[in-house]
Amino acid sequence: MSHRLNPIDEVFLSMGPTEDQVGLTHGQFLRFQGGAPPLSDLRDHVRERLPALPGLTHRMTPARGRRPRREPDPGFDPAAHLREQEFPPGTPLDTVLTALAREPLPENAPPWSMRLVHGHADGEFAVCYRVHHSAEDGMGASHIVSALFGDPCLEGGRRDTAGPRPLISGSARELARGTVSVGTGLARALVPAQPWPKAPRPRPERLGVSAADATWNELRQLSRRFGATLNDAFLMTLWKALDAWAADGDQDVRSRFRTAPVPVRMPLSTRRPGEDALLGNHLTTAVVALPARGTPLDVAFGQLAGRTRRMRAHGLRPASRALVGILPAPLTRWTVRRLLSPRASPLYASNFSLPTALSFCGAPAIDATPLGVLLPGNALSVTLLSYGQRVRVGFLYDRALPDAERLAGLWREALDTLSAPA
């Protein structure tokens, strides 16, 4: 069955030629304990789970002058999307992640790929799932991974590929406040108070990935210490990492990070409970300014927690959900493009989680590392992914950004510093 893309999907689909869209491909890298199974086992496993995930068999196609559609691929072959990739023993994880992030997706086919990765570390293997942003947002990709490697009895039934969703999911007060928030965000995107430089779109060979490891309890304890959320702790640690990174740059973009509060663009899901299986993009974005450099820690935490609290409380999610369904598609596309303006925010920061007890061929998942997206005009994105008690933070960057490969290590150092007893 064919389905029309929603306007947000169309925006991500239109962001440049296919060969330049590698940065718009995101996903998860799941590490499993044990020896690598044969690739045929992964192919058989995916085929077995496909009936519950029909979106994996759909591709995006133009409709002869009309809006593009999502329709079944008549020549779909799971084997074309699954490959085995072996790395030399001792290959650093960041090198593995960077190589995977640079790979193009299959052409003229459903826009996703999966790699069985091994050789780089003893006693473990990995499965890397990547998908183009026009097909799935972050929560949608997390659902795919959960449905593929979780207990199918706990994942629910078949995916709803196009069932109607109620547009109104908030009170009149929430919708009014949320509409004002959308308008305010649009105005700030069109005329930012302090415009940020627009970065050129990097070619695949210029992309880099680095990752940092933490525990859920470390971030939770830090957030509780200041009466904030785990997401606030993630952002505060990012604030300190950017501060340390920017300290060394006098003649490049780092000086801008040092002299101005950094606005961070964050996606907010507009899915309601039970809608994690919906195909496509169901999200809005909001910009949260990190505290100014030199702000005392307790004051900075209070400022950030207040800003994110207002972001969540202003009805942005229900209003955005309603507006996408009510407004004409051209107006929605125009608005989404403007809201994603890199002039209003130099980086994108996301926060997702996966359910516990993922496994494949009897091998339990050790942890999960996110591969984020690099929006056109941004040179850096940061994604936090929680799995059980483990947290991984992934940095996707343009290698033209000076010393960007240090950011993951600086984030880990910042968490240690912030978590140290006063």
194-234 confidence digits (pLDDT tens)? 899 899 888 899 999 999 999 999 999 999 999 999 999 99
pTM above 0.75, yes or no: yes
CB burial class (10 A; 0-12, 13-18, 19+) of residue 302?
middle
HEC states along 211-269?
Answer: EEEEEHHHHHHHHHHCCCCHHHHHHHHHHHHHHHHHCCCCCCCHHHHHHCCCEEEEEEE
Q: Residue 211 is encoded by which pair of tokens?
A: 């990752």
118-164 confidence digits (pLDDT tens)? 999 999 999 999 999 999 999 999 999 999 999 876 544 444 444 44
- CA-CA distance, 163 to 282, in Å (whole number)? 14
- CA-CA distance, 23 to 380, in Å (whole number)? 10
Distances (CA, A) of 24 to 131, 207, 402: 9, 11, 21
- CA-CA distance, 113 to 128, in Å (whole number)? 8
3 state DSSP class of 112? strand
Neighbour order of strands in the sheet with 359-360: 82-86, 112-118, 124-132, 25-33, 363-371, 359-360
Cα 236–chain centre separation: 18
Q: Would you state the pLDDT for residue 161? A: 44
Question: Which runs of consecutive H residues, i.e. helices, occur in 111-229?
Answer: 138-149, 172-190, 216-225
Q: What is the mean pLDDT of the chain?
A: 90
332-353 confidence digits (pLDDT tens)? 999 999 999 999 999 999 999 9
Judged against a pLDDT cut of 60, whether residue 71 lies above it is answered with yes
Q: Residue 155 is encoded by which pair of tokens?
A: 């994942």
User: What is the chain's length?
Assistant: 422
Among 18-32, 146-160, 237-251, 295-309, name the one with the lowest average pLDDT. 146-160
Q: Would you state the pLDDT for residue 358? A: 95
Question: Which runs of consecutive H residues, i.e. helices, occur in 22-137?
Answer: 39-49, 93-101
Rounded to 5 degrees, what angle do the CA atoms 361, 365, 370 make? Answer: 125
23, 374 contact by CB (below 8 A): yes
233, 215 contact by CB (below 8 A): no
Distances (CA, A) of 166 to 4, 108, 275: 17, 33, 11
283, 270 contact by CB (below 8 A): yes
For the segment 242-261, the average pLDDT, to the nearest whole number, is 87
270-329 confidence digits (pLDDT tens)? 998 888 888 999 999 999 999 998 899 999 999 999 999 988 878 888 888 888 888 899
Radius of gyration from C-alpha coordinates of the chain: 21
| Confidence tier at 19 by pLDDT (50, 70, 90) | low
Q: Which long-range contacts (CB under 8 A, 24 or more apart) does 224-227 make?
A: 226/298, 226/301, 226/302, 226/305, 227/305
DSSP strands (E only) in 14-156? 25-33, 58-63, 66-72, 82-86, 112-118, 124-132
Neighbours of 5 (CB within 10 A): 23
